[in-house]
Amino acid sequence: MDMDKIKDFSKTYLRQEKSGHDWLHIQRVVANCEQIIKHIQEPINVDVVLAAAYTHDLLDEKIKVDYLLTEKDVRHILKEAQMSLEEIEQVLRIIKNLSFAANLIEKQHLTLEGQIVQDADRLDAIGAIGIARTFYYGGSKGHSLYDPKAVHTSAQAVCSKETYRQVRNVRQHFDDKLLKLKNLMNTKAGQEMAKNRHQLMIDFLQAFDQDTLSNTNQLS
């Protein structure tokens, strides 16, 4: 199959994306997949993993591009890359079911290939790059940095995709999603890779909350 065709399309389509779901994000997710694959002992279809990694944001409504692709468009891209019909269906099932929002109400079943891509994508949402992307995305949507009146807890429950999307400050997103991702990793490699990234977020948020609390107290 022609993985370069899928790669080149994704690069062309996402290189001007400005919400943090850009081509650089795709490259990091692919690199994370490759790292995780090294530790997988079960048989997997690496082509499916990489194709899903390259295309996983092409149907995401969060991306800021002039047009949004349809499932038919993605299917056509994969077909042109000479993927089999079975592989195309596997890739589409992965990219439609791996997001955090898609799993809010009920955990979606993913093949091992899908679990690898999901872990790789979630790893890029945490740690130093995850912190940067979170504020970058929030800025692109016009969200405030934080709510001075909010009480933060990583145990906070998010009931639905609608309530999850209603949050309009960046700090809250860490409680609603990012601090939960370490315990949601599927693979042992993903779990190990998440540990330091998770701790970095904890350390950052302690400093962030202290700074915002001090500032709030001074202004009250």
Q: Where are the domains of the chain?
A: 3-219
Confidence of residue 86 (pLDDT cuts 50, 70, 90): very high
Query: Using H for helix, E for strand and C for coil, what is the string for 39-108?
Result: CCCCCCCHHHHHHHHHHCCCCCCCCCCCCCCCHHHHHHHHHHCCCCHHHHHHHHHHHHHCCCHHHCCCCC
- Confidence grade of residue 220 (pLDDT, cut at 50, 70, 90): very low
Residue 49's identity, in one-letter code, is V
Q: Name the band, by pLDDT with cuts 50, 70 and 90, for residue 208.
A: very high
pLDDT above 70 for 44:
yes
What pLDDT does 60 receive?
A: 86
Q: Is the pLDDT of residue 1 over 50?
A: yes
Give the model confidence (pLDDT) of 87-112 as tens digits: 999 999 999 999 999 999 899 999 99
Instruction: Summarize pLDDT for 119-165 with one digit per residue, the tens.
Output: 999 999 999 999 999 999 999 999 999 998 876 765 555 555 556 66
CATH code for the domain defined by 3-219: 1.10.3210.50
